[in-house]
Amino acid sequence: MLKLFTSTEYENDPVFQELLFNWNKYMNSDEDDEEFLTLWEEVLMNDWYSASTNWLKIFRNDNTWRKKLV
């Protein structure tokens, strides 16, 4: 499913790979504290938003990644 919304430039980006690693760590966590999990998710979502905004600024004028989207 993720493949539909990304390009190879984005997938090969080390920042994106680190964000995926952190998200998988969150999803596979055995933490029981709901408040902690909520805070963790908010931090992760903020990191995703910041990184994707920066990536779009860099590739704003490059249209090749847009053609590959489904």
> pLDDT at position 43, please?
95
Q: What is the pLDDT of residue 37?
A: 92
Distance separating alpha carbons of residues 20 and 26, to the nearest angstrom: 10
Residue 40: which domain range? 2-67
Query: How many CA atoms lie within 13 Å of 32's alpha carbon, on the beta-carbon side?
Result: 0
**Domain total of the chain:** 1
Listed as ranges, residues in the chain with pLDDT below 70 are 1-10, 64-66, 68-70
Confirm if 18 and 48 have CB atoms less than 8 A apart: no
Read off the pTM. 0.68
